[in-house]
Amino acid sequence: MGKLKIIALVYISMMLLISTTWASTLNEGFAAFKAKNYEQALQLLQPEANKGVATAQGVLARMYVNGWGVAKDPGTAIKWARLAAAQGDPAGQSVLGFIYSRGRGVEKDYFEAVKWYRLSADQSDAGAQGQLGFMYRNGHGVDKNLVESLKWFKAAAAQNDAYAQGQLGYMYQMGIGMPVDYAEALRFYRLAADRGDVIAQGSLGLIYRNGIIVEKNLVESLKWFKAAAAQNDAYSQGNLGHLYQEGIGVPVDYAEALKWYRLSADQNNPVAQSSLGIMYEKGYGVPKELNEARRWYSLAAAQGNDSAKKNLSRLDESARIAAEKATERKHKADSTQFGLTNSPQSAELNEYEAFEKFKIYYEAMKKSDTVGAIELAINLFDKFQKYAENGSIRGQYAIGRMYDEGIGTEKNIELATYWYRKASEQGSSDSQIRLSFKLNNQNTQESFFWLTSSANQGWGIAQFALGMKYYGGMGVPKNTRLAYFWLLLAASNGSKNAIDIRDNVGSELASEQRIQIQTEARNWRPKASAPIKYSATQERNAGIQSESSEVDSTGSGFRVARDQIVTNNHVIEGCHRLQVNGVVAQLKSSDPRSDLALLDVNLPGPSTSLRSQRVAVGELLAVGGYPLRGLLSGFNMTIGNISSLSGMGGDTRLVQITAPVQLGNSGGPVLDSAGNLIGVVVSKLNAFKAAKITGDIAQNVNFAINVNVLRSFLDANSVEYTTSSSSKPIASTAIAEKAKGFTVLVECWK
């Protein structure tokens, strides 16, 4: 054999040895990852990932995004996921889908998530297929499609993906996209639970405990709850606590119940927090401790748990009654019969009804026993004075009325006003309207503030007075729309005066406006009584227009939910007072980076819907707003197209539009051909500056904030907005009429 042949054989043998060693290292790394030996997996796969091996990069992305064997690090996860995905690795693509769907290290973007999930799912990645099923079922980044959802869940389940199997169990149980099939539901739940899916394990615990689709079996229920609880599932931990507290399938064991409730409550499960409150209130397994009970009830109530809210209210009411009884023992009073104390006997009466009951008795008594009536009034005045000084809202209201009407004391309007204000600040709606009338000739701003607060609580007299103020332009700009709205509410509360005048006021509006306002009035609900204070520095007067200064600047905005207006941050920046359509607004939140602001204003009207689909270059659009205030009057709309999906320098937070915009358009809505929101006007290119750079004057180069950025801003501020699919275009005149309802003028005083 020649020398060259020998050298070639040696070289081939060496290369095969290297290749075999490389493959062996990768396989060992994957095996360690599958066995959840993450430390060894990282040690073996990190060097391969650094060499550019896509499969190793995909596994590292999964480890960093989930915190498996390493600290959770979205940035590092994104790095490895992008490198792997660029080479077509399904694991990397799936991780990118997860990152965008959850907003981990990037802005949440369901459209981008669906893109990566689909690429991975098309390569048979079971995890991505399951997530794509979830996206289709819930309409995240795609139109809701249960057929597609089932297709992807079944594809993943066929690969023994536990999550997808659990979701199929739920869909068969509830009949989502298919007929109800309890046998199939149970089969898929068991497959998923046996593979460790915590949601399926918890679901089986509930199914067996309650006998929902199988015969009740508390042994099985306990088994599955414990399996899920061992994986730190908060809801299963809470359910275990309930089993041990009530002795369901196990002996009553308060210590064990407390253990599981605490584990669950520490993960912010409101049901477990409320249950801990009960344990401490009743002294189950712990000494009775009302302060600790109140703490847990408060945590649960803050998350909207109704049971905790009721228990907290009951504790507070009991404490309040106990405090008042202690006061009554020192100052015995015979006023309970009139309902003017906060005792349980008078709970069905508000402070106005209670005082009217006393006044009727007092006036009747005067006719037969004047001296006795006067003595009764003087005696009650002394008692109510003490209640008022101790913070009783009924006492404060009663003392205000007695000073106001000279009952049991000399008439004193100044002191009546003082006590009306005290009761008003605790949320007494009748005190608020009486205080408003007292202040009408002294402080019109504060007077209007209290009148609006009373009307918002559903007090018919206040609603009528507020409607007349708007109709006559008394202390506020004349607003026939708001006048008609408040008069409709007052009439529904039985105000004869409102009934007599509402139709005359409504006749000044167009038929479409009347119908729209009538719908708004039917859907309106009064606000609950709550502590409130007037602040002159903030001018929280709910509608007073200053006569002492000119408007410094204006912009546009739009309503996204009841009382919630969106505009640009740069429109409201530096403003000490803001008005929306002539009604004073309060700044609720702002984000200079995204150039968005959220205003709170008591201004009825329809809200826009955010479009659920991704936009495309070339799409028709409309821009609404109030530009060039002083030159142009009223609402203005222009038509154009989307010319680019990014702003200057490739900024994907913005889209470029061709619709003309002017000074004052900032913050206004950008609408698609169906009238749904796709952006927020933010700026226009400075044509003269651009001309100096390019030598050409740019035409219609304007920018809007991407609707996905707005959605993230609204989510961060817990705004309950609506979304809509844009499948059917409407006429431009219809878009304009629709936009008029939710587009507003924003005025700024600096």
Listed as own residue / partner, the contacts of 522-525 with beta carbons closer than 8 Å and 24 or more positions apart are 524/489, 524/604
| CB-based contact 526:453 (threshold 8 Å) | no
Residue 487, pLDDT above cutoff 50? yes
Mind giving me the DSSP string for 316-327?
HHHHHHHHHHHH
CA distance 238 to 275: 9
Q: Are 495 and 460 in contact (CB under 8 A)?
A: yes
Query: Per-residue DSSP letters for 681-711?
Result: EEEE--HHHHHHHHSS---S-EEEEEHHHHH
Res. 625: pLDDT tops 80? yes
pLDDT computed for residue 596 by the predictor: 95
The stretch 120-138 carries a mean pLDDT of 93
Contact indicator for 554, 602 with CB cutoff of 8 Å: no
Mean pLDDT, residues 18-22 taken together: 49
Distances (CA, A) of 690 to 104, 394, 515, 650, 655: 37, 67, 48, 17, 18
Lowest mean pLDDT among 15-24, 249-258, 360-369: 15-24
Q: What is the pLDDT of residue 535?
A: 65
Give residue-wise pLDDT tens across range 443-467. 677 888 888 888 888 888 888 988 8
Mean pLDDT score, 116-129 = 93
Helix or strand run (H / E) with residue 518: helix 511-523
pLDDT, average across residues 175-180: 90
Burial class (CB in 10 A: 0-12, 13-18, 19+), 749: middle
Specify the pLDDT at position 686.
44
Of residues 370 and 711, more confidence is placed in 711
CA 691 to chain centre: 45
Q: For position 684, what pLDDT does the model report?
A: 58
What is the chain's length?
Answer: 750
**Helix, coil or strand: residue 655:** strand
List, in order, residues 6 or more apart from 68 with CB less than 8 Å away. 36, 38, 62
Can you state the angle between helices 90-102 and 110-121, rounded to 10 degrees?
160
How would residue 76 be classed by pLDDT, with cut points 50, 70 and 90? very high
What is the pLDDT confidence band of residue 334, given thresholds at 50, 70 and 90? Answer: very low
**485/467 Cα distance (integer angstroms):** 7
673: pLDDT strictly greater than 90:
yes
Q: Which pLDDT value is given to residue 622?
A: 96
CA distance 725 to 742: 18
Tens of pLDDT, residue by residue over 81-97, are 999 999 999 999 999 99
pLDDT in tens, 300-325: 989 999 998 998 888 888 777 766 65
Counting residues of the chain whose pLDDT is more than 70, the rounded percentage is 88
pLDDT at residue 160 in the model: 93
By three-state DSSP, how is residue 578 classified?
strand
Distance CA 438, CA 434 (A): 6
Nearest to 576 by CA among 593, 551, 598: 551
What is the rounded CA–CA span in Å between residue 578 and residue 329? 51
- Which residue is associated with the tokens 């308060």? 254
Q: What is the mean pLDDT of residues 52-62?
A: 91
Q: What is the pLDDT of residue 262?
A: 94
126-130, 387-391, 441-445, 625-629: least confident range: 441-445
pLDDT at 47: 92
Q: Cα–Cα distance between 156 and 124 in angstroms, integer?
A: 8
Are the C-beta atoms of residues 703 and 647 closer than 8 Å to each other?
yes
User: At a CB cut-off of 8 Å and minimum separation 6, what does 486 contact?
Assistant: 455, 463, 464, 466, 467, 470
Q: Which of 146-160, 281-295, 407-421, 429-443 shows the lowest mean pLDDT across its residues?
A: 429-443
pLDDT higher than 50, residue 181: yes
Could you identify the residue written with the tokens 């509402």? Answer: 502
Q: Report the C-alpha gap between 477 and 580 in whole angstroms.
A: 12
Lowest mean pLDDT of 88-92, 110-114, 338-342, name the range: 338-342
pLDDT at 132 over 90: yes
> pTM for the full model?
0.44
Contact 583, 542 (CB under 8 A): yes
What is the overall mean pLDDT for the chain? 84
User: Can you tell me the mean pLDDT for 735-747?
Assistant: 92
Task: Of 134-138, 386-390, 549-553, 696-700, give the lowest mean pLDDT range.
Answer: 696-700
In tens, the pLDDT along 533-557 reads 776 544 433 444 433 457 788 999 9
Q: Which residue has the higher pLDDT, 72 or 361?
A: 72
pLDDT band at 60 (very low <50, low <70, confident <90, very high): very high
Res. 152 pLDDT band, cuts 50 70 90: very high
pLDDT at 586: 87
Question: pLDDT confidence of 224, banded at 50, 70, 90?
Answer: very high
Q: Which residue has the tokens 């009064």?
A: 526
3-state SS string over 4-46? Answer: HHHHHHHHHHHHHHHHHHHHHHHHHHHHHHHCCCHHHHHHHHH
Question: What values do phi and psi take at 439, rounded to 5?
Answer: -90, -5
Residue 625 φ then ψ, to 5°: 165, -170
Q: Which amino acid is at 484?
A: Y
- The span from the first CA to the last CA of the chain, in angstroms, equals 96
Residue type at position 622: A
Round to whole Å and give the CA distance between 202 and 182.
17
pLDDT tens-digit profile of 43-52? Answer: 999 999 899 9
pLDDT at 63: 94
Here the tokens at position 254 are 């308060």
